[in-house]
Structure formats: C-alpha cells, structure tokens
Amino acid sequence: MITSKLPNVGTTIFTRMSQLAMETGALNLSQGFPDFDGPQALRDAVGRHIAAGHNQYSPMTGLPALREQVATKIQRCYGRAVSADSEITITPGATQAIFCAIQALIRAGDEVIVFDPCYDSYEPAVELAGGRCVHVPLGQPDFAIDWQRLNDALSPKTRLIILNSPHNPSGALISRTELDRLATLIRDRDIYLVSDEVYEHLVFDGAQHASVVAHEELYQRAFVVSSFGKTYHVTGWKTGYVVAPAALSAELRKVHQYVSFCGVTPLQWALADFMAEHPEHVEQLPAFYQAKRDLFCDLLGDSRFCFTRAAGTFFQLADYSAIRDDLEDVAMSEWLTREHGVATIPVSVFYQQAPKDLRLVRFCFAKREETLRQAAEKLCAI
C-alpha cells in the first residue's frame, strides 16, 4: 500500500463544482475560466505556426521572441528594464512557475507564509519540498494584510512569503504602500517572495496594479508570476511566465528544466506575434472586465446577496446570510447548483481554518453577457 506524500489532497472543489454543474446543467460560475474564446487573431496564429513547422521543443527558458515581448510589456507597464535572457522564463502555466520557484527555494523544515484565503496549489508544492505553510488570515472584511499577524508569524525558519494580488478569491489589491511596509519588515531577513500576479491586468475603477516587479527593493528577492491564460482568455493553453533577478531565475530554471523542460512551442510563437501586434489588448482588459463586473453586480442588486464590488480579478464574492444563514458555504454552493442552477465556489475551501460565521461564495464573472444575465435572473429569484 502506497503511503501518500500528500495525504490531505483530494479532488479539488473546482473540479467537483464544475462536474456538478455539468451533471445538473447549472450555469458554471464556479471555476475561473471564460465561457468565451480568446482573440481570433491569436487563435489563427497558432494554426499558422503549426503549419509553418514550429512544432519541436522551444529553448528551455522559452521562445526568445516571447521573452522579448514580455520584457517590452514589463518596461511599458511597470517601468523596469528586465533582461529577456536572464530574468524571464516561460513555463507551462503560472502554477508550474510557482511550483518550480517553491522547489528551488524550500528545504526540509523551512516555513512559508501564505495568506488565507489562498490559491490551492501553494501548500502541496511547499509540502512536496519538505516545507511547512504558516497560514496568516487576511483581515476582514477587506482582505487586507493583517500586519500584527504577519509579524507574529515570522520566525527564523521563514524562508518565503507568497503574495497574490489581485487576490483570488476576494479581488482585493495590495497597494504600493503595503509593499513598502513589507520591504521594511523583511529587510534584514533571509526571506524570498513569490508574487502571484496572474490577474495583473484585471484591476478596476482606475486603480493601478502595484507589481513587485516595479518595487526596486522587493524585486531583488522575488519571483513574479503571471499567466497568458488569464490575460488572453485562453486558460486551457496553460502558458505563463516568471520574472526574477538573474541569480533567482537560474535556480528556478534548474527545476523547470526537469519538470517540463519547456512550454508548448506553437502557442509561444502565437503569443509573441499577438503581443507584438496588439499591445493594446492589455490596456483594454480593465474596461472589458469592469463592464462584466458591473453588469453582474447591477443585476445582482435586485437579489438578497450582499457584496462590495471586486477591486480586481474576475471574481465577485457575495454574502448569502440573508438567504440561508443556516447553511455553511460548501452546502450553500451545492444547494445553489442543484436547486437554483448556478454553480459557485465556497470561500472556506481557500482557508486552513475558515471563520465559523463565513457566509461567502465566489462567482466568476468571466462570462458572456447572456450567461451573466441568465445567472443573475436565477439568483434574484431566490
């Protein structure tokens, strides 16, 4: 009988809720992916590159043309000149980039601080490396860093802090001032950062994303991760990248080289072409998703759900205590799917220990207008 290295890992709630949505025919506002396609020109480019014979391994660090495009974008958006050769690595998805960064850094006995609620891939990656996650709950109701708790959680064993802004599931943003405060806190300690910025271009109401790439001091000890899947509406392409100073990138690449070696070649060619031809795509994303957020929230205004509009990401949290205060959120999500035809994600699954009175579900609004209208109609009828 095999002894599991990850005894606490089962089928994730994302798979379960998407399956339940399929079985019941519910509208799927659970897992975070669009129900519309990426840009036609981007999809056409893949076919073109496959036909042109771009079907063999790309360089281990990623296609040079794509790394150049990422460097150009970083300069444009965050004002930092990074080396496409030594600081940017293309990976098969942001999740793999995070995994490689963690394996490159963490040794047995190291502690990694994660902020709850947090994305579910962090902890198994830390455990496989022999480390231990120390869970620091974000403050309520705004999901901001609780500095006292963070301070209390630091120990001589702390080797890494994982940040995620814009934040899944809450949509909260870390500000530049908070990054400054973090820099002061860890200045004299041997602590690194993984900054999960896969929703970097999804920030609303005129806010600016405070990227760790743009923070001179923090960047020196950071792996900054993003996802082409989120930015170009092609989550199934599982293509992402990590930006880190040369010495950190070199260590990450040692792992990446033996986890996958490289990303999918024709996808990288297509992304490089599209980024060169359509730099405006990322500029237009905030307005594109803000319109979806606002449509969904305006329509939900007639429901008994309570919410504050998400500041970023394509997720909207909603408090359902006025509807079914008797149900915990996992049961509520199942009830909403089975009885009311809308699949959601319960927020407690993002916690090691969720607050007892948590009555929040997460809706994904990366959906066509028609889907959002149908979902809101069902939710308003409850």
Ligand X SMILES: Cc1ncc(COP(=O)(O)O)c(C=O)c1O
Q: Where are the alpha helices (DSSP H) in the chain?
A: 13-24, 40-51, 64-78, 94-105, 122-128, 147-153, 176-186, 216-219, 228-231, 246-259, 265-277, 280-300, 321-324, 329-340, 369-380
Q: Does 316 bind ligand X (CB under 6 A)?
A: no
Residues 6+ away with beta carbon under 8 Å from 143? 117, 167, 170, 172
By CB under 6 A, the residues from 140 to 169 that bind ligand X are: 164, 168
User: At closest approach, how far in Å is the CB of 215 from ligand X?
Assistant: 19
By CB under 6 A, the residues from 173 to 232 that bind ligand X are: 196, 198, 227, 229
Cβ neighbourhood burial of 154 (10 Å; 0-12, 13-18, 19+): middle
87, 293 contact by CB (below 8 A): no
Kindly tell me which of 131 and 263 has the beta carbon lying closer to ligand X. 263
Q: Does 290 bind ligand X (CB under 6 A)?
A: no
User: At closest approach, how far in Å is the CB of 103 from ligand X?
Assistant: 15
Q: Does 238 bind ligand X (CB under 6 A)?
A: yes
User: At closest approach, how far in Å is the CB of 349 from ligand X?
Assistant: 13
User: At closest approach, how far in Å is the CB of 348 from ligand X?
Assistant: 17
Instruction: Collapse the DSSP code of 364 into the 3-class scheme (helix H, G, I; strand E, B; otherwise coil) and give the result.
Output: strand
Kindly tell me which of 233 and 341 has the beta carbon lying closer to ligand X. 233
Q: Does 111 bind ligand X (CB under 6 A)?
A: no
User: At closest approach, how far in Å is the CB of 127 from ligand X?
Assistant: 18
Residues 6+ away with beta carbon under 8 Å from 244? 87, 89, 101, 222, 223, 224, 252
Tell me phi and psi for residue 101, to 5 degrees.
Answer: -60, -45
User: At closest approach, how far in Å is the CB of 138 from ligand X?
Assistant: 14
User: What CA–CA distance (Å, rounded) separates 32 from 35?
Assistant: 10
Q: Does 119 bind ligand X (CB under 6 A)?
A: yes
User: What CA–CA distance (Å, rounded) separates 336 from 351?
Assistant: 21
Span of 89-97, 271-279, 336-344, 364-372 interacting with ligand X by CB under 6 A: 89-97
Q: Does 103 bind ligand X (CB under 6 A)?
A: no
Q: Does 240 bind ligand X (CB under 6 A)?
A: yes
Buried residues in 58-92 as b, exposed as e (16+ CB within 10 A): beebbbbbbbbbbbebbeebbebebebebbbbbbb
Kindly tell me which of 323 and 360 has the beta carbon lying closer to ligand X. 360
Span of 88-96, 176-184, 213-221, 338-346 interacting with ligand X by CB under 6 A: 88-96
Q: Does 235 bind ligand X (CB under 6 A)?
A: yes
Q: Does 265 bind ligand X (CB under 6 A)?
A: no
158, 182 contact by CB (below 8 A): no
Long-range contacts of the stretch 215-218 (C-beta < 8 A, 24+)? 215/176, 215/179, 215/180, 215/183, 217/183, 217/187, 218/179, 218/182, 218/183, 218/193
The count of chain residues that interact with ligand X, using the rule CB under 6 A, is 14
Span of 56-64, 71-79, 173-181, 233-241 interacting with ligand X by CB under 6 A: 233-241
User: At closest approach, how far in Å is the CB of 239 from ligand X?
Assistant: 7
User: What CA–CA distance (Å, rounded) separates 134 from 358?
Assistant: 21
Letters for 28-57 (x = contact with ligand X by CB under 6 A, - = none) are ----x-------------------------
Binding residue (CB under 6 A) for ligand X from 95, 290, 316, 371? 95
User: At closest approach, how far in Å is the CB of 125 from ligand X?
Assistant: 11
User: At closest approach, how far in Å is the CB of 178 from ligand X?
Assistant: 17
Residues 6+ away with beta carbon under 8 Å from 13? 330, 345, 346, 349
Q: Does 117 bind ligand X (CB under 6 A)?
A: no
User: At closest approach, how far in Å is the CB of 123 from ligand X?
Assistant: 13
Kindly tell me which of 61 and 164 has the beta carbon lying closer to ligand X. 164
User: What CA–CA distance (Å, rounded) separates 59 from 40?
Assistant: 26
Contact residues toward ligand X (CB under 6 A) are 32, 93-95, 119, 164, 168, 196, 198, 227, 229, 235, 238, 240
